[in-house]
Amino acid sequence: MRSNNNIILETTIKVVLFIIVLFSVYIFFAGHYYPGGGFIGGLMTSGAIVLLLIAYDIKTVATILPVNYRTMTGIGLLFAIGTSAGSLLFNVPFLTHAFGHIEVPVLGEISLHTATLFDLGVYLVVVGVTMTIIQTIGEDE
């Protein structure tokens, strides 16, 4: 049941949520060169969603974020397995990733890695599994 006395909590959560999600995206992309990546970014995103669950109830969060976390887990597994198995198709050792550089007009030269797709899979699996567990526990009455 939602209380009307949480205006300060709800307002604070909206600001903090934005900062946490923005930082989790940074951690996700910095994971190739610095500590971080899909696992830590996924945990931070799950933590941000849990903050929403603290401020609001499960039904309200489900309307804000209409995501099926089990489907998200499956899509993440497909990304992770697909990019790791791709190395077997090209007859290179397992989990060997390819990379290259492209020139983007505004950003300049950026590097593209298949490891980013693998990290995206890990990110989706972590968010999907974590939120499925939390929602399952939260829906118990």
pLDDT in tens, 1-42: 555 667 888 889 989 999 999 999 889 888 877 777 899 999
71 part of a folded domain = yes
Query: Is 53's pLDDT higher than 80?
Result: yes
Residue whose token pair is 């995501």: 67
19 part of a folded domain = yes
* CA atoms of 80 and 116, how far apart (whole Å): 10
Q: In the chain, how many domains are there?
A: 1
* CA atoms of 82 and 73, how far apart (whole Å): 14
Question: Which backbone phi and psi does 108 adopt, to 5 degrees?
Answer: 90, -150
End-to-end distance of the chain based on CA atoms, in angstroms? 13
pLDDT value of position 85 = 84
The pLDDT mean for the chain works out to: 87
pLDDT-derived band at 91, boundaries 50, 70, 90: confident
Contact indicator for 33, 128 with CB cutoff of 8 Å: no
1 part of a folded domain = no
Domain that holds residue 97: 7-139
Higher pLDDT: 49 or 116? It is 49
